[in-house]
């Protein structure tokens, strides 16, 4: 997905890579992707060292590995002067996330975290509407992310994605919270512009024998007095990828669903609801810039990723505006959210402040 999205706007060329933790598979995969044998590496360490020594070194590396390896890989490239685009969550512990933040700050290099839903045109429209004051002061933020792909003991079948996502040594201290709850958390922050001051969480592992949570319910208190809820679940039978955000202010409300990504429902107090459509007139500059195809045609997941890669390309070439592009601070905030949720639930459900 990252590889396709990065090339969607003709901004990137894939020229090097370490495509597996197994050296033989890594090199075979590189050749299958038409990477020159000289730049088909058996490990990330080999790639970082050798690319840094080349005159035609890579401009940026994309890190799309399981959570437990993000920090080591990112650090290896940043310390050799190579910018990084990294999948979420940033790390498996808050200490590691903070340590990587210091590496990023010391390097002065671009670091992007791929919270891809923030690249959707109508999500950017929602953000612009809130920022413009169209809703008035925000009162309530409700976000949910419901899936059903882990409703059974899929990890026991050897399915690779399920296996590492339910393994605390690879995924970190949370399951559904780390995998999709962090997306919901970031989306709420991205659109509302508010920071979570404290939270109260209740985690469940419904599938017998599962070591990490597969369902979470979280109460949220935001700075400025707004309140909210976050529900994420990977055992919600009947839901494929049900990410939904609702924001309510004193003068209006917004409603957006990832499975219907091209529409945004806007209601102003005392007026009939309006449905805003991607690709039609009257939208914000951010929504227009993130739109690629004519109205009425599906546009979503890959294009959301592509927008983050395009924004990163602009910054790498000394153009664009970093405002809104997820970065290292968003990564640390996401890991702090995970740890606060886990701590709150383990304590029996007590208000806990994320400490980013």
Question: What is the three-state SS of 271-336?
Answer: CCCEEEECCCCCCCHHHHHCCCCCCCCCCCHHHHHHHHHHHHHHHHCCCCCCCCCCCHHHHHHHHH
Domain ranges of the chain: 2-113, 120-294+328-346
Structure tokens at 282: 């009257």
Structure tokens at 79: 């310390």
pLDDT at 20: 93
pLDDT at 98: 98
> What is the spatial distance between Cα 138 and Cα 151, in angstroms, rounded to a whole number?
35
> What is the spatial distance between Cα 201 and Cα 217, in angstroms, rounded to a whole number?
6
pLDDT at 321: 83
Task: Give the list of residues 6+ apart from residue 22 with CB closer than 8 angstroms, or none.
Answer: none
Q: Is the peptide bond before 89 cis (omega within 30 degrees of 0)?
A: yes
Which regions in the chain score pLDDT beneath 70? none
CATH fold for the domain made of 2-113: Rossmann fold (3.40.50)
pLDDT at 322: 84
Q: Residues 174, 164: contact at Cβ < 8 Å?
A: no
Tokens 């007026």, residue located: 271
Q: Find how far residue 46's CA is from the centre of its chain.
A: 27
pLDDT at 323: 84
Domain 120-294+328-346, classified CATH 3.40.50.1110, yes or no: no
pLDDT at 217: 98
Interhelix angle 121-132/182-192, nearest 10 degrees: 40
DSSP SS3 for 17: strand
DSSP-derived pairing of the beta strands 242-249 and 227-233 = unpaired
pLDDT one-digit tens code per residue, 194-206 = 999 999 999 999 9
């Amino acid at each position: 997905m990252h590889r396709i999205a990065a090339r969607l706007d003709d901004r990137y060329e894939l020229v090097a890579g370490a495509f597996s933790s197994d050296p033989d598979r890594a090199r075979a995969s590189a050749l299958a992707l038409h990477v020159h044998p000289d730049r088909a590496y058996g490990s990330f360490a080999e790639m970082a060292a050798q690319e840094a020594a080349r005159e035609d070194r890579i401009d940026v590396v994309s890190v799309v590995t399981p959570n437990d390896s993000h920090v080591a890989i990112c650090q290896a490239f940043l310390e050799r002067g190579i910018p990084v685009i990294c999948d979420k969550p940033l790390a498996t512990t808050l200490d590691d996330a903070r340590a990587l933040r210091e590496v990023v700050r010391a390097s002065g290099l671009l670091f992007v975290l791929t919270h891809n839903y923030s690249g959707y045109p109508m999500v950017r429209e929602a953000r612009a509407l809130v920022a413009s004051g169209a809703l008035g002061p925000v009162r309530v933020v409700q976000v949910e992310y419901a899936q059903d792909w882990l409703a059974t003991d899929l990890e026991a079948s050897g399915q690779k994605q399920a296996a590492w996502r339910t393994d605390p040594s690879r995924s970190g201290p949370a399951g559904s919270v780390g995998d999709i709850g962090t997306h919901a958390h970031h989306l709420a922050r991205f659109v509302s512009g508010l920071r979570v001051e404290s939270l109260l969480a209740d985690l469940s592992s419904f599938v017998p024998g599962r070591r990490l949570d597969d369902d979470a319910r979280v109460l949220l208190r935001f700075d400025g007095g707004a309140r909210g809820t976050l529900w994420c679940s990977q055992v919600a039978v009947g839901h494929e990828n049900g990410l939904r955000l609702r924001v309510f202010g004193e003068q209006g409300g917004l409603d957006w669903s990832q499975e219907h990504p091209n529409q945004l429902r806007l209601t102003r107090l005392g007026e009939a609801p309006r449905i805003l459509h991607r690709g039609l007139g009257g939208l914000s500059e951010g929504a227009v810039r993130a739109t690629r195809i004519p109205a009425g045609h599906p546009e979503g997941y890959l294009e959301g990723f592509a927008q983050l890669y395009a924004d990163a390309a602009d910054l790498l070439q000394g153009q664009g505006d970093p405002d809104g592009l997820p970065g290292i601070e968003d990564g640390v905030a996401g890991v702090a959210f995970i740890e606060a949720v886990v701590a709150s639930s383990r304590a029996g459900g007590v208000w806990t402040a994320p400490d980013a």
